[in-house]
Amino acid sequence: MSTTFKTSERFVDEMVDERCTVDKSKSFYDKPTIRTWRIDPGVDPAINQKSMEYLARLEEVRSLIGNTPLLQVDFSYRGKRRTLFAKAEYYNLSGSIKDRMAFHILKKAYLSGALKPGAMIAEATSGNAGIAFAALGSMLRHPVTIFLPDWMSEERKNLLRSYGANLRLVSHEEGGFLGSIALAEDMHEKDPDVFLPRQFDNTDNCEAHYLFTGPEILAQMQRLNRVPTTFVAGVGTGGTVMGIGRAIRAVNPQATIHPMEPSNSPTLSTGYKTGAHRIQGISDEFIPSIVHLNELDSIVQVDDGDAIIMAQKLSRNLGLGVGISSGANFIAALKLLESMPEQQAASASVVTVFVDDNKKYLSADYAKEEPIKPGYLSPDVELTNVLAVR
């Protein structure tokens, strides 16, 4: 029989199986006040006790992760008034949506015994996930090794070093992103105590968004007397679009859920690495195993230059200093609005996420003047107002 621990913090009780399948008997709006922790009974009792100490330390920063504002962004596009909604995820602990996934994966790993107190955490990442694991690892006194493709921004590299991570840069010749994953796996093979979050294959990734990010969006939209009709987000690991999508469909089964990819490198559409792009954090050379395209609606493609200009406009015109992928998510949401009949677009509740802030891109093309090309939507966007909802 499992050991049970309780805390008084608010928590959405477990509603999913290992593939984040929806249990529609549970309400997203009614959050019980008791959390139940169950340590795997097969874990050594001494590790159990130590893991509980680490879990308690992890809980001490829970209030710094999640419960981010939902932004209502009002704008016009070619003279037509439009509104979209975006979660401001740069308010999380280390500055991105990846804190949610990292927190949840570490918690589940302590409970299962997969992560031993003080053990090495090693992960392959394009930046934000590694930064999240490095920040939490530092706080929990875990050494952290990050395998990062060497073409990622200097800010990403320096942030990882600032959190004390051992940074291993991986070149194109060494395999790039797939090479980074292989190096992490090799590290675990040599020392089985090394914990690999395996964010691209770990269903706890989508569960984090199903249990937390999705319900937050639903509750905040409810305060605006709305229910999401459409959700779109760029695919890096796919945890965001899969988890939030399932949460939204539990409340609105007719909602459409769309993955976004760079048109310059359409990995989701082709099934393999092709081309190159500048939207760091998405389209990482392969389709992750936790992405089930058959559960999603049409793929939305965004040119990286259009994404850069849109991110720049959000900063210059509304004071929203968001990263390039957030600009891409905005353009993807706009494309979906433009695909709808006018009456539907005027009343649609299209939701996306602003993944991180612009500070990680100041050495990248984000800080340069981006040439406007035919087909870009961003030049015709006029941002007018933003409203934040907690």
Catalytic residue, chosen from 51, 87, 98, 153, is: 98
Residue 252 burial (CB count, 10 A): 16
Predicted confidence band at 382 (pLDDT cuts at 50, 70, 90)?
Answer: very high
- Give CA angle at 12 (6, 15), nearest 5°: 105
Q: pLDDT digit string (tens) for 91-105?
A: 999 999 999 999 999
Task: State the pLDDT at residue 48.
Answer: 73
Reply yes or no on whether 325 is catalytic: yes
* C-alpha–C-alpha distance, residues 232 and 244, integer Å: 10
* C-alpha–C-alpha distance, residues 77 and 54, integer Å: 50
Stated pTM of the model: 0.89
Q: pLDDT digit string (tens) for 282-304?
A: 998 899 999 999 999 999 999 99
* C-alpha–C-alpha distance, residues 155 and 362, integer Å: 8
Residue 56, C-beta contacts closer than 8 angstroms, at least 6 positions apart:
none
Task: State the pLDDT at residue 39.
Answer: 53
Catalytic residue, chosen from 180, 265, 325, 326, is: 325
Phi, psi values for residue 169, rounded to 5°: -80, 140
Q: pLDDT digit string (tens) for 157-187?
A: 999 999 999 999 999 999 988 999 999 999 9
Averaged confidence pLDDT in the chain: 89
Q: Helix (H, G, I), strand (E, B), or coil: what is residue 254? A: coil
Q: Helix (H, G, I), strand (E, B), or coil: what is residue 94? A: coil
Q: pLDDT digit string (tens) for 292-345?
A: 999 999 999 999 999 999 999 999 999 999 999 999 999 999 999 999 999 999
Which residue ranges make up each domain of the chain? 70-93+202-389
Fold for the domain defined by 70-93+202-389? Rossmann fold (3.40.50)
Radius of gyration of the chain (CA): 20
The rounded percent of the chain whose pLDDT value lies above 90 is 81
**Quick one: DSSP state of residue 210?**
I
Residue 315 burial (CB count, 10 A): 18
Reply yes or no on whether 360 is catalytic: no
Spatial CA neighbour of 73 closest among 293, 376, 297, 310 = 310
CA dihedral 356, 362, 364, 369 (to 10 degrees): 110
**What residue has token string 């590790």?**
47
- The DSSP bridge pattern shows strands 80-88 and 350-354 to be parallel
